[in-house]
C-alpha cells in the first residue's frame, strides 16, 4: 500500500513518542520521525540499507552514519530482512482492513445499481433479469431493497470515487517512468510534474532520459535529483542535444535542491519550485526563511 492522497494521515501519539525518544539527540529524533513518516507513507517496513535510509531522511551520508546506530536501534529487523516498527505495522493492518471493508461495500452498492430497473420518464420499460415480478407478497421486500440501494449508493459515492477520464492512463505511464527513475521520493509531486512533462515530451523520451540518468557513471547516488525537480528542469533532454548551457543549469538545480533539503523544505514543495529560473537573491532569501536559527537548535538540544 502506498499513500498517494495528499490528505493522507495516520494517528500520532506525542506522549508515547516523547517517552521513547528522550535519550535521542535532536538530530537523531528528527531522523527517527522522518523514518516513521516514510514507513507509513510507503505502507511497508523500511529497507535495511544505510544509503536507502539516508535518502529517506534527506541528509548527507556522513551525517546519517553519525546517528545511524541509535536511530536503527528504534527498529527491529524482521524475518524479511527489513526494519520493522510494531506500532506502524499495527496501524497499517488496521488501515488495510478498513480499506477492504469499504471496497466490499462499494462493490455491493454497484451490483445493486446494475440490477435496478431502467426507467424512462418515471415509468418502467425494462426489468432486471434477477428482479422478480411485482406482487403484494414481495412489495415490502422491494421497499427494503430500495432503502439498501440508497444506503450503498451513498457508501459508493463517498468512499470509492471514480478517477477522471484519462487519469488512469496517466498514472500507468507515470508508473512505467517511475520504475526506471533511480530515486523514489516525493511521489505525489513527481506525478504532478510528470503530467506537465508529458505535454512537452513523449513517454518514450521521458523513459529514455530517466534510463540515461540512472546509468550515468558520473551520477552520485547521494545527490540524485528528486523526481519532480528532474522533470520540472526538463532533464530528459540531458545528453541528447538539449539547449546550450543545460549542464550548468542542471548543476545549479542540483545544488539548490540540496540546500533546500538541508534547510528542511519538504520534497513536494521543492518539486513545485522553478529552481532553474529563480534569481540568486530570491533563492538566498528563501533558504534563509526556511532554515531554523542556530540558537533555536541549541536550545532544543538542551
Q: How far is CA 155 from CA 98, 114, 122, 160, in A?
A: 13, 15, 25, 8
> Greatest CA span in the chain, whole angstroms?
82
Spatial separation of the C-alpha atoms in residues 261 and 76, rounded to whole Å: 28
Specify whether the CB–CB gap between 113 and 104 falls below 8 A.
no
Q: Give residue limits of the domains in the chain.
A: 14-84, 167-300
Number of neighbours of residue 108 by Cβ within 10 angstroms:
15
Nearest to 117 by CA among 98, 142, 148: 142
Q: Give the list of residues 6+ apart from residue 108 with CB closer than 8 angstroms, or none.
A: 152
Q: How far apart are CA 126 and CA 114, in angstroms?
A: 13
Give the angle subtended at the CA of 164 by the CAs of 158 and 168, to the nearest 5°: 110
Interhelix angle 26-42/61-72, nearest 10 degrees: 80
Task: Quote the pTM value.
Answer: 0.35
pLDDT tens series, the chain, 302 aa: 455 566 777 888 888 888 889 999 999 999 999 999 999 888 899 999 999 999 999 999 999 999 999 999 999 999 999 999 998 988 888 888 877 666 666 777 766 766 665 554 555 544 444 444 454 445 455 555 555 555 555 444 444 444 445 556 788 899 999 999 999 999 999 999 999 999 999 999 999 999 999 988 888 888 899 999 999 998 998 864 333 334 456 777 878 888 888 888 888 788 888 887 788 888 888 888 876 554 444 444 44
Q: Are 29 and 21 in contact (CB under 8 A)?
A: yes
| Buried b or exposed e, range 247-275, using 16+ CB within 10 angstroms | eebbebbbebbebbbeeebebbebbebeb
Q: What are phi and psi of 18, to 5 degrees?
A: -65, -40
At what angle are helices 26-42 and 50-57 packed, to 10 degrees?
100
Distance in angstroms between the alpha carbons of the first and the last residue of the chain: 39
Q: At what angle do helices 167-180 and 187-198 cross, to 10 degrees?
A: 110
Residues in a beta bridge with 83: 46, 77
Euclidean distance between CA atoms 189 and 191, whole angstroms: 5
* Spatial distance between the Cα atoms of 122 and 113, rounded to a whole number of angstroms: 17
Amino acid at each position: 500500500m502506498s499513500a498517494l492522497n495528499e490528505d493522507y494521515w495516520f494517528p500520532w501519539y506525542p506522549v508515547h513518542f516523547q517517552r521513547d525518544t528522550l535519550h535521542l539527540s535532536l538530530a537523531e529524533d528528527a531522523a527517527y520521525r522522518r523514518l516513521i513518516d516514510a514507513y507509513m507513507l510507503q505502507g511497508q517496513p523500511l529497507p535495511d540499507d544505510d544509503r536507502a535510509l539516508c535518502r529517506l531522511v534527506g541528509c548527507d551520508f556522513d551525517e546519517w552514519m553519525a546517528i545511524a546506530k541509535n536511530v536503527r536501534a528504534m527498529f527491529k529487523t524482521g524475518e524479511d530482512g527489513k526494519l520493522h516498527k510494531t506500532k506502524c505495522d499495527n496501524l497499517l493492518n488496521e488501515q488495510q482492513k478498513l480499506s477492504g471493508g469499504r471496497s466490499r461495500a462499494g462493490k455491493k452498492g454497484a451490483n445493486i445499481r446494475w440490477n435496478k430497473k431502467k426507467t424512462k420518464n418515471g415509468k418502467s420499460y425494462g426489468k432486471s433479469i434477477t428482479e422478480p415480478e411485482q406482487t403484494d407478497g414481495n412489495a415490502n421486500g422491494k421497499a427494503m431493497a430500495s432503502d439498501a440501494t440508497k444506503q450503498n449508493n451513498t457508501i459508493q459515492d463517498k468512499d470509492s470515487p471514480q478517477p477522471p477520464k484519462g487519469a488512469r492512463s496517466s498514472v500507468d505511464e507515470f508508473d512505467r517512468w517511475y520504475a526506471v527513475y533511480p530515486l523514489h521520493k516525493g511521489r505525489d509531486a513527481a506525478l504532478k510534474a510528470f503530467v506537465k512533462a508529458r505535454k512537452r515530451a513523449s513517454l518514450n523520451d521521458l523513459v529514455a532520459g530517466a534510463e540515461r540518468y540512472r546509468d550515468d557513471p558520473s551520477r552520485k547516488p547521494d545527490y540524485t535529483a528528486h523526481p519532480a525537480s528532474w522533470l520540472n528542469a526538463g532533464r530528459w533532454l540531458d545528453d541528447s542535444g538539449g539547449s546550450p548551457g543545460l549542464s550548468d543549469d542542471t548543476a545549479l538545480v542540483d545544488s539548490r535542491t540540496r540546500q533546500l533539503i538541508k534547510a528542511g523544505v519538504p520534497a513536494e514543495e521543492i518539486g513545485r519550485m522553478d529552481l532553474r529560473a529563480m534569481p540568486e537573491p530570491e533563492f538566498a532569501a528563501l533558504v534563509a526563511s526556511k532554515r531554523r536559527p542556530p540558537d533555536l537548535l541549541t536550545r532544543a538540544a538542551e
